[in-house]
């Protein structure tokens, strides 16, 4: 009798499995980043990584969900099921990397806790197009975490297999949440039909495989009524040597195995993870579960020592070449007399039975598995290239991160601090902001109208300029230069999008639209000057810095309206080379049903 099995410990097959998965992931991430840099050179590395990890996690989630039905439809996929839990943990890790990067990028360095920001920065729970998609991702990540944390057999043993299985069915909830996260999030901004098609194909394949497997199972799941002492189970000829026939008796699945001229009936439900024991094979006198190789002795349904799992046994008889089974289960581990039957002549095909803890897989199966792995690796390279090539153009906007320069000029403090840089090619008004999601510090107001030298990193998107100041206080310089007064261009009605100027001018890409909405809300709450971006009839963009009717800052009153189309009537004013819109917060209205234009 085999006592050498250890389904959960590390072994060669598991190491091979994990190695292939990690190689596939590296290929996927490498192809995404490589294709991203080649095809979208204006993208930022942060966005590239967020997208690479997010789509990678969703790709893996599809693989995890497809393995179950594939293994039910074709037993050659069973080896993929052997280590599926590691695949689940790796999926969670990818989701965590994506969610972690997204939280740092869009929610950190603001005026509220980043997790609170994920849940509250977009308040549009009333709109499908504007629906807060990031909390859906957070909920999915929470579920994937619970499943990864309880994936060890310690939890399986303590929770019991049925409860553990029920808990792990939550993977379908996580999948649904991620699909909504993507459909209501990035797909509202990245509108190339290929991207929506990829999501739909994934959904269709996962749903279709589950439906097919369920139909197949239902057809094969002949339920026998438990009438009388013994029920007619099947014809003897239906059970090959060292294999089993499976039937439901009054809703309970029973497997009758044939081995060396004897018949044995056991519960079909493996005690490990409720795997279909009867789809396994007899090896050394034990029924071996096809999922992870747990073994049960045919005579009494008990695992060979030192293992302790046991399944119920059933009395079985043969009459006139029919197999009869007593529907009353005997307590798990009860030894029963087997029924006699002649040994089946044809030995079951031994070449397709995979036992994960054995050193090697049967050669024919291994060759087939190699082809499946190659196909998956090809997909891991082709899919990111397809996704990257379908993403939209990124703006000509730049953040000279890491290059600190000095700028000299006159500082104007209201409504938002601006440095009117005097010299050289950079002679232009530069909006001033701080590190993170914060507007310029209040002390700058005392320097209103003075010449100063300030140091910081340039942010630019033509025709606008901005400086992210260093912590060093600007130095006062001699001399004065006068600024002009405001000049009114009259009251106008404008339709456009309210954005935070810092991200839009180059710190993030996309720095506008639905994916960026929560970040824009945080930036504007933190005092970053809000911009109204208006496309004129010819498609050119006009950028107006938004202030109140008296030229005071009003960003915090507009946070609920960011990143979606609004219309406003107010006074347009030019002042020292910048265009301002003066309006009361109440003058801004949402434009019902309007879509968004690309970055
Ligand atoms: C804390 C949890 C999460 C947050 C805050 C979050 C945030 C985001 C954000 C901001 C985007 C749009 C980024 C862009 O402009 O491209 C996005 C997109 C996406 N997310 Fe998440 N996400 C979370 C969890 C997840 C999880 C668990 C998955 C998958 C298992 C996932 C899969 C995706 C995918 C496939 C995309 C589209 C690709 C992309 O745009 O990056 N997300 N997520
Ligand atoms: S061995 Fe894991 S379910 Fe049977």
- Minimum-distance ligand 2 atom for the alpha carbon of 277: 4
* Residue 289 confidence (pLDDT) above 70: yes
* Residue 5 confidence (pLDDT) above 60: no
Question: Which residue, by CA, sits nearest to atom 1 of ligand 2?
Answer: 292
Predicted local distance difference test score (pLDDT) of residue 597 = 43
How far is residue 11's CA from residue 4's CA, in Å, rounded to a whole number?
12
Question: Which residue, by CA, sits nearest to atom 39 of ligand 1?
Answer: 51
How far is residue 54's CA from residue 162's CA, in Å, rounded to a whole number?
31
Query: How would residue 483 be classed by pLDDT, with cut points 50, 70 and 90?
Result: confident
Ligand of minimum distance to the alpha carbon of 7: 2
Residue 140 per-residue DSSP state: H
pTM of the predicted model as reported, rounded to 2 decimal places: 0.90
Residue 164 in contact with ligand 2 by CB distance below 6 A:
no
Predicted local distance difference test score (pLDDT) of residue 8 = 52
Alpha helices per DSSP H over 288-355: none
Which of 407, 410, 459 lies closest to 575, judged by CA?
A: 410
How far, in Å, is the centroid of ligand 2 from the Cα of 538?
65
Which of 489, 487, 528 lies closest to 507, judged by CA?
A: 528
Predicted local distance difference test score (pLDDT) of residue 152 = 87
How far, in Å, is the centroid of ligand 1 from the Cα of 66?
21
452 Cβ neighbours under 8 A, 6+ residues apart: 408, 409, 410, 411, 419, 474, 475, 476, 477
Residue 7 in contact with ligand 2 by CB distance below 6 A:
yes
Residue 85 in contact with ligand 2 by CB distance below 6 A:
no
How far, in Å, is the centroid of ligand 2 from the Cα of 68?
13
Q: CA angle at residue 388 from 382 to 389, to 5 degrees?
A: 90
How far is residue 311's CA from residue 330's CA, in Å, rounded to a whole number?
9
- Minimum-distance ligand 2 atom for the alpha carbon of 274: 3
- Minimum-distance ligand 2 atom for the alpha carbon of 7: 1
* Residue 593 confidence (pLDDT) above 60: no
Query: How would residue 414 be classed by pLDDT, with cut points 50, 70 and 90?
Result: confident
Q: CA angle at residue 543 from 542 to 545, to 5 degrees?
A: 150
Residue 52 in contact with ligand 2 by CB distance below 6 A:
no
3-class state of residue 64 by DSSP: helix
Is 430 within 8 Å of 400 (Cβ atoms)?
no
How far, in Å, is the centroid of ligand 1 from the Cα of 99?
6
Is 13 within 8 Å of 362 (Cβ atoms)?
no
* Residue 181 confidence (pLDDT) above 90: yes
Residue 506 CB coordination number (10 Å): 25
- Minimum-distance ligand 2 atom for the alpha carbon of 292: 1
Backbone phi, psi, residue 466, to 5°: -150, 150
User: What structural domains does the chain harbor?
Assistant: 15-219+361-390 (no CATH), 224-352 (2.102.10.10), 398-476 (2.40.50), 487-590 (2.40.50)
Would you report the helix, strand and coil content of the chain in percent, each value rounded to 5? 40, 25, 35
How far, in Å, is the centroid of ligand 2 from the Cα of 81?
10
Ligand of minimum distance to the alpha carbon of 115: 1
Q: CA angle at residue 201 from 199 to 205, to 5 degrees?
A: 120
Residue to substitute in 292, 303, 304, 356 for testing ligand 2 pocket (most ligand atoms within 8 angstroms of CB)? 292
How far, in Å, is the centroid of ligand 1 from the Cα of 265?
49
What is the token pair recorded at 522?
């945080």
Residue 171 in contact with ligand 1 by CB distance below 6 A:
no
* Residue 481 confidence (pLDDT) above 90: no
Residue 273 in contact with ligand 2 by CB distance below 6 A:
yes
Mean pLDDT, residues 133-150 taken together: 97
Q: For the chain, what is the mean pLDDT?
A: 92
What is the token pair recorded at 296?
């049960």
Predicted local distance difference test score (pLDDT) of residue 596 = 43
Residue 589 per-residue DSSP state: E
* Residue 185 confidence (pLDDT) above 80: yes
Mean pLDDT, residues 290-319 taken together: 94
Q: Which residue has the tokens 């100041």?
A: 469
Predicted local distance difference test score (pLDDT) of residue 7 = 46
Lowest mean pLDDT segment, chosen from 59-63, 174-178, 247-251, 292-296: 247-251
Mean pLDDT, residues 556-563 taken together: 95
Predicted local distance difference test score (pLDDT) of residue 122 = 96
* Residue 598 confidence (pLDDT) above 60: no
Residue 95 in contact with ligand 2 by CB distance below 6 A:
no
How far, in Å, is the centroid of ligand 2 from the Cα of 270?
6
Q: Which residue has the tokens 């938004």?
A: 546
How far, in Å, is the centroid of ligand 2 from the Cα of 241?
22
Mean pLDDT, residues 565-578 taken together: 95
Residue 294 in contact with ligand 2 by CB distance below 6 A:
yes
How far is residue 531's CA from residue 580's CA, in Å, rounded to a whole number?
9
Residue 339 in contact with ligand 1 by CB distance below 6 A:
no
How far, in Å, is the centroid of ligand 2 from the Cα of 291?
5
Residue to substitute in 57, 105, 136, 137 for testing ligand 1 pocket (most ligand atoms within 8 angstroms of CB)? 137
Judge residue 424's burial from the number of C-beta atoms within 10 Å of its C-beta, 0-12 exposed, 13-18 middle, 19 or more buried. Answer: exposed
Residue to substitute in 88, 181, 388, 512 for testing ligand 1 pocket (most ligand atoms within 8 angstroms of CB)? 181
What are the Cα distances from residue 234, in Å, to 231, 286, 423? 9, 22, 94
Residue 106 in contact with ligand 1 by CB distance below 6 A:
yes
* Residue 595 confidence (pLDDT) above 60: no
Residue 457 in contact with ligand 1 by CB distance below 6 A:
no
Mean pLDDT, residues 125-136 taken together: 95
* Residue 79 confidence (pLDDT) above 60: yes
Question: Which residue, by CA, sits nearest to atom 20 of ligand 1?
Answer: 54
Predicted local distance difference test score (pLDDT) of residue 479 = 81
What is the token pair recorded at 110?
């603001």
Query: How would residue 424 be classed by pLDDT, with cut points 50, 70 and 90?
Result: low
Residue 181 in contact with ligand 1 by CB distance below 6 A:
yes
Residue 55 in contact with ligand 1 by CB distance below 6 A:
yes
* Residue 220 confidence (pLDDT) above 70: no
- Minimum-distance ligand 2 atom for the alpha carbon of 270: 4
How far, in Å, is the centroid of ligand 1 from the Cα of 165?
27
* Residue 2 confidence (pLDDT) above 70: no
């Amino acid at each position: 009798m085999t006592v050498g099995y250890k389904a959960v410990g590390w072994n060669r097959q598991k190491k091979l499995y994990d190695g292939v998965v990690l190689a596939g992931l590296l290929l996927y991430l490498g192809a995404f980043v490589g294709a991203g840099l080649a095809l979208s050179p204006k993208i930022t590395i942060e966005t590239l990584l967020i997208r690479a990890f997010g789509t990678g996690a969703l790709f893996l989630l599809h693989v995890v969900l497809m393995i179950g039905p594939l293994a039910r439809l074709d037993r050659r996929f069973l080896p993929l099921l052997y280590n599926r839990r590691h695949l689940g943990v790796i999926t969670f890790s990818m989701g965590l990397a994506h969610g972690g990067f997204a939280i740092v990028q869009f929610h950190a360095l603001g005026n509220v806790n980043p997790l609170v920001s994920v849940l509250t920065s977009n308040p549009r729970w009333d709109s499908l197009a504007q629906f807060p998609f990031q909390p859906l991702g957070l909920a999915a990540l929470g579920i994937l975490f619970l499943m990864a944390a309880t994936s060890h057999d310690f939890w399986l043993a303590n929770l019991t297999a049925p409860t553990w299985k029920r808990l792990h069915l939550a993977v379908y909830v996580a999948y649904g949440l991620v699909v909504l996260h993507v459909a209501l999030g990035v797909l509202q901004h990245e509108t190339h039909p290929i991207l929506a098609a990829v999501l739909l194909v994934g959904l269709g394949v996962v749903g279709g495989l589950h439906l097919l497997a369920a139909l197949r199972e239902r057809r094969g799941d002949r339920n026998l009524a438990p009438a009388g002492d013994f029920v007619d189970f099947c014809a003897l000829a239906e059970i090959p040597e060292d294999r089993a026939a499976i039937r439901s008796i009054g809703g309970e699945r029973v497997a009758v195995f044939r081995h060396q001229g004897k018949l044995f009936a056991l519960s079909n439900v493996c005690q490990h993870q409720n795997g279909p024991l009867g789809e396994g094979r007899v090896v050394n006198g034990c029924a071996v579960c096809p999922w992870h190789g747990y073994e049960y002795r045919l005579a009494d349904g008990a695992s060979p020592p030192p293992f302790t799992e046991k399944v119920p046994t059933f009395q079985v008889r043969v009459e006139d070449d029919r197999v009869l089974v007593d529907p009353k289960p005997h307590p798990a581990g009860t030894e029963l007399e087997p029924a006699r039957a002649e040994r089946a002549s044809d030995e079951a095909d031994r070449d397709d039975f995979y036992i994960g803890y054995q050193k090697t897989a049967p050669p024919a199966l291994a060759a087939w598995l190699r082809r499946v792995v190659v196909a998956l690796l090809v997909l891991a390279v082709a899919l990111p290239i397809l996704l990257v090539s379908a993403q939209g153009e990124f703006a000509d906007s730049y953040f000279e991160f890491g290059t600190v320069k000095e700028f000299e000029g006159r500082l104007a403090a209201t409504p938002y601090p601006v440095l009117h840089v005097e010299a050289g090619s950079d002679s232009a008004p530069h909006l001033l902001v701080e590190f993170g999601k914060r507007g310029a510090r209040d002390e700058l107001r005392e320097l209103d109208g003075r010449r100063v030298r300030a140091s910081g990193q340039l942010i630019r998107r033509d025709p606008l300029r901005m400086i992210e100041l260093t912590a060093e206080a600007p130095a006062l310089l001699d001399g004065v230069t006068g600024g002009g007064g405001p000049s009114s261009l009259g009251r106008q009605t404008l339709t456009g999008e309210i954005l935070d100027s810092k991200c839009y001018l180059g710190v993030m890409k996309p720095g506008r639209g639905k994916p960026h909405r929560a970040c824009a809300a945080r930036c504007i709450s933190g005092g970053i000057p809000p911009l109204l971006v208006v496309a004129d009839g010819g498609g050119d963009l006009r950028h107006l810095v938004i202030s109140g009717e008296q030229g005071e800052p009003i960003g915090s009153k507009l946070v609920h309206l960011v990143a979606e189309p609004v219309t406003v009537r107010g006074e347009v004013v030019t002042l020292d080379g910048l265009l301002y819109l003066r309006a009361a917060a109440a003058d801004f209205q949402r434009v019902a049903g309007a879509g968004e234009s690309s970055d």
